[in-house]
Structure 1
Amino acid sequence: MATEGFTTCLWFDGQAEEAAHYYVSVFKDSGVGRVTRSHEAGPGPAGSVVVVEFTANGQRFVALNGGPQFQFNEAVSFQIHCADQAEVDHYWAKLTEDGGQPGPCGWLKDKYGVSWQVVPDALIEMISDPDGEKAGRATQAMMAMGKLDIAELRKAYAGE
């Protein structure tokens, strides 16, 4: 990995390698990089995974097996910008499977507890419209949804 830029570190309790492979399977432009294992001096049993470097959707991450001290919460989430409903449906389905939890307004938690916002680009355009009535209708429709439905958002935006 390059030394410039940012890398997001995700703290896991023994699932770092599993999680890295999972995220690589969900997102395009992804791959697992260096896997650092513990030595005789620790931390953890010799040979156990400490850190896994990976890229998901072109973004750099490090998965760290740090232990049970910290848990993920909604204070930090990752936005997935989607070009169309097929992408929304894909990411929603993949990230809520195997114990993921759907939430309101396009938010969800994956099976590791990481929060994601599955956001169609069309929604951003609608709620950013200078016409406050149109933007407000789209926002109200979004607030009533779990997984975002672009067709329904467009209907609300148009006042239908």
Structure 2
Amino acid sequence: MTANKNPVSLCLWFDKDAEEAAKFYAATFPDSNVGAIYHAPSDFPGGKEGDALTVEFSVLGTSCIGLNGGPIFPQSEAFSFQVHTDTQEETDRYWDAIVGNGGKESACGWCKDRWGLNWQITPRVLTDAMANPDAGVRKRAFEAMMTMHKIDAAAIEAAVRGEAVGAA
């Protein structure tokens, strides 16, 4: 096997399931795959000789390395993947895959997968609204987003137009 030749990769610390997580991400997101899996040459604090130690994978074209380092450094909201979506169907598919596979939903488009990794599933209509030069549009889109768990693109579009928006 040849070591990863990318100039930079995200190193994500897992307790022990980096390979399982990488396979899930590759099956869930396009332009994602699992590459080399390196096994520990001897026992280590998070495992035994022969266990998967690192896993090379990509998520939406982003190079990652999963490190099975044990429970000492859990994931936190300080790091997340932000996935930009073009349709509500795409938003729903990613959200449902993460939350429906042992994950948890949070507020404003955030959710956590079953390994504790945080995701922001963000429709482009929201990021476009937040970049709008009109402060009123930004405020209405922001206030609508604050009522949501999974982002409802139609509700954001209604807020942009100045229409009343209920909680999603």
1:157 and 1:69 map into 2 onto residues whose CA distance is: 44
The equivalent of 1:9 in structure 2 is 11
The equivalent of 1:65 in structure 2 is 68
The equivalent of 1:42 in structure 2 is 43
Percent identity, aligned pairs only, is 41
Residue 133 of structure 1: how far off its partner (Å) = 1.0
1:14 and 1:133 map into 2 onto residues whose CA distance is: 47
2:72 and 2:66 map into 1 onto residues whose CA distance is: 15
Tell me how many residue pairs correspond in the alignment.
Answer: 158
Asked if structure 1 preserves the Cα contact closer than 8 Å seen for 2:6 and 2:63, the reply is: no
1:118 aligns with 2:121: yes
Stretches of structure 1 that go unaligned for 5 or more consecutive residues are none
Asked if structure 1 preserves the Cα contact closer than 8 Å seen for 2:80 and 2:117, the reply is: yes
Residue among 58, 67, 77 paired with 1:55: 58
Question: Match of 2:96, SS?
Answer: helix
Q: Deviations over 1:109-135 (max 9, x none)?
A: 111111111111111111211111121
Q: Deviations over 1:5-50 (max 9, x none)?
A: x2111111111111111111111111111110012x3334222110
Q: Specify which structure has the higher proportion of helix.
A: 1
2:77 and 2:60 map into 1 onto residues whose CA distance is: 21
The equivalent of 2:96 in structure 1 is 93
Q: What is the TM-score normalised by the length of structure 2?
A: 0.90
Q: Deviations over 1:47-74 (max 9, x none)?
A: 2110010111111110111011010011
Stretches of structure 2 that go unaligned for 5 or more consecutive residues are 164-168
Question: Match of 1:14, SS?
Answer: coil
Q: What is the TM-score normalised by the length of structure 1?
A: 0.94
